[in-house]
Every structure is written in structure tokens, then in C-alpha cells.
Amino acid sequence: MAKSIRRPSRPAKSTAAKRTENVAANPRRKKVAKSARAKAPKAAHKVPKPWTEAEVTEAFRRFRAANPEPKGELEHLNPYTLLVAVVLSAQATDAGVNKATRSLFAVADTPSKMLALGEDKVRDYIKTIGLYRNKAKNVIALSEKLIAEFGGEVPRTRAEIESLPGAGRKTANVVLNMAFGEHTMAVDTHVFRVGNRTGMAPGKTPLEVELNLERVIPSEFMLHAHHWLILHGRYTCLARKPRCEVCIINDLCRWPEKTV
Ligand code: SF4
């Protein structure tokens, strides 16, 4: 009968020895392990202290002192042309829109004149603006709807404005604020950046920033708050290189990377 031979049990390997062995078997492993460590999330940033009511008031006092009557930069002649200009401004600069609308509005400053001009001509006038084919369609469709449902006038409620082709929440906020003096807050890319960077009204979406700004800004500043914040973002708190050294709210700003 064959004798059974008991093999000596292997000594247990240390964790370090196992790691060395794994890496030897697959040299890519070390690299992967290293890069995984590099990509591991860093410790969460310290959440900045929320602004106090007095600080928000102080910031807007300074904006008002520097520019008591801020103006929007989209050229328009009446609520209708403002509405059209805002619809055309999606993913385009105000300067680019103004260049096209100057001659368009000279011949069509009402919904009926725009319909008389027709989609092909409207398209020609605005062809320097991005997405112009679709925008020309929307301008004609919204003009038709204004005539059919609103007596040719721009309606005064958010729901009605948002029901127009090409018009969303931001369009409604701009029109309600600039044409009808309502305390709305339109959040574009500049306002979104300023609200988040300064820590005044942080939010992951434009709607969150809008609601936070409306919550913290005192009513006495709300009529112009939208323009002050846009202008601040456009000329001072620039996306790539904010001009913190000349910023009039740099002592209040919570951005950890501010350069003052
Ligand atoms: S201090 Fe700098 S980052 Fe802060 S609001 Fe002013 S420009 Fe923007």
C-alpha cells in the first residue's frame, strides 16, 4: 500500500510579501494601484461661512454706489423686441445679438411686422448668430402665438412667457424684470459663477442659484440685482482670471482662490 506523504504546510505570507508578488506577476498592477490612489477623492473642501444679511446688503450698497442705474446690454425698442433679443441670445453674446438685431428691429419691431417679413428673411438677418435656423423658426412661431393668443402683446406672467416657442425660465425672468419691473433674477453663466464663487448663493443648477439669490438679496436691491451681478461677472469676476485686486467686494468674497 502506498504511503501517504503529508506535505509540510507553507508558511503564511505577509501582506507586504503578497503585494510584492502580485506586482511581480503583473507589473501594471503597481501603476494601477498608484493611479487609483492619485484619483481617490481628496478631503472635502471646507464649506465657506454663509454670508450674513449685513454683508449681502453691504455688497449691493457698493454695487449701487458704483453704478446706480445699471443697464442690460441687449439692445431693444419695446417688450417685444426685448423678448426676441433674449430668445436670440441663447448661447450667443449680447454684442453678437445686437449686431444682428439692429437692422432686424429697424424693419420689424412688432409681431405682425415680423410675420410680414417671413422666416427666410429673418434667417438672413440673424445668420451671424449661432443656431440661427432654429431661432428664426422660434421668432416666427412666437410672433404668431403672441398675435393669436395675447393680442400681439408680450404677456406679463411667467407661465405665459414660458409657453412661447424658444422662451424658457431665463427669458421670462429677463423680460419680467426689464420690461415690467418685476423682482426676478435671471441666472446666466456670469450670475451662476458669481453666486457660487463668492459663496453668496451657492447652487448646482441655475435654478438653485436663482432661488438662493432671491432669498438673500434684500428687496430694495432686487430690481437691479440681476444687472449688477451680470456686470460684475462680465467685467470683474471673470471666468478665467478674476480681477480680485480691483473687485469692490473682495473683502466679502468667500472664494478660497481669490488673489487678494
Ligand atoms: S474677490 Fe475675486 S473671486 Fe471674489 S468676487 Fe471679487 S473678483 Fe470674484
pLDDT in 10s for each residue of the chain, 260 residues: 344 434 444 444 444 444 444 444 444 444 434 443 444 344 445 778 999 999 999 999 999 999 999 999 999 999 999 999 999 999 899 999 999 999 999 999 999 999 999 999 999 999 999 999 999 999 999 999 999 999 999 999 999 999 999 999 999 999 999 999 999 999 999 999 999 999 999 999 999 999 999 999 999 999 999 999 999 999 999 999 999 999 999 999 999 999 99
Catalytic residue among 13, 18, 170, 204: 170
List the helix and strand counts (H, then E) for the chain: 13, 0
With a 6 A CB cut-off, is 114 part of the ligand 1 pocket?
Answer: no
DSSP character for 188? -
pLDDT at 5: 39
Probe residue for ligand 1, chosen from 253, 254, 257 as the CB with the greatest number of ligand atoms within 8 Å: 253
Taking the centre of ligand 1 as the mean of its atom positions, its distance from the CA of residue 250, in whole angstroms, is: 5
Q: How far is CA 155 from CA 3, 71, 179, 226, in A?
A: 100, 22, 11, 21
With a 6 A CB cut-off, is 254 part of the ligand 1 pocket?
Answer: no
With a 6 A CB cut-off, is 242 part of the ligand 1 pocket?
Answer: yes
With a 6 A CB cut-off, is 198 part of the ligand 1 pocket?
Answer: yes
With a 6 A CB cut-off, is 150 part of the ligand 1 pocket?
Answer: no
In angstroms, rounded to a whole number, what is the distance separating the alpha carbons of residues 16 and 215?
56
Give residue 80's region: left, alpha or beta (phi > 0; psi -120 to 50).
alpha
pLDDT at 182: 97
Taking the centre of ligand 1 as the mean of its atom positions, its distance from the CA of residue 252, in whole angstroms, is: 9
In angstroms, rounded to a whole number, what is the distance separating the alpha carbons of residues 177 and 171?
10
Residue partners of 36: CB distance under 8 A and separation at least 6:
none
In angstroms, rounded to a whole number, what is the distance separating the alpha carbons of residues 147 and 250?
48
Residue 31 host element (H or E)? helix 28-39
Probe residue for ligand 1, chosen from 237, 238, 241, 246 as the CB with the greatest number of ligand atoms within 8 Å: 237
With a 6 A CB cut-off, is 249 part of the ligand 1 pocket?
Answer: yes
In angstroms, rounded to a whole number, what is the distance separating the alpha carbons of residues 78 and 208?
30
Nearest CA to ligand 1 atom 2: 244
Active site residue 170: yes
Active site residue 120: no
CB atoms within 10 A of CB 26: 11
pLDDT at 108: 98
The cell numbers describing 201, all together, are 448663493
Nearest CA to ligand 1 atom 8: 237
The cell numbers describing 185, all together, are 433674477
Domains of the chain: 55-70+184-246 (1.10.1670.10), 79-178 (1.10.340.30)
Catalytic residue among 137, 145, 188, 204: 188
pLDDT at 48: 84
pLDDT at 45: 58
Residue partners of 170: CB distance under 8 A and separation at least 6:
86, 186, 187, 188, 206
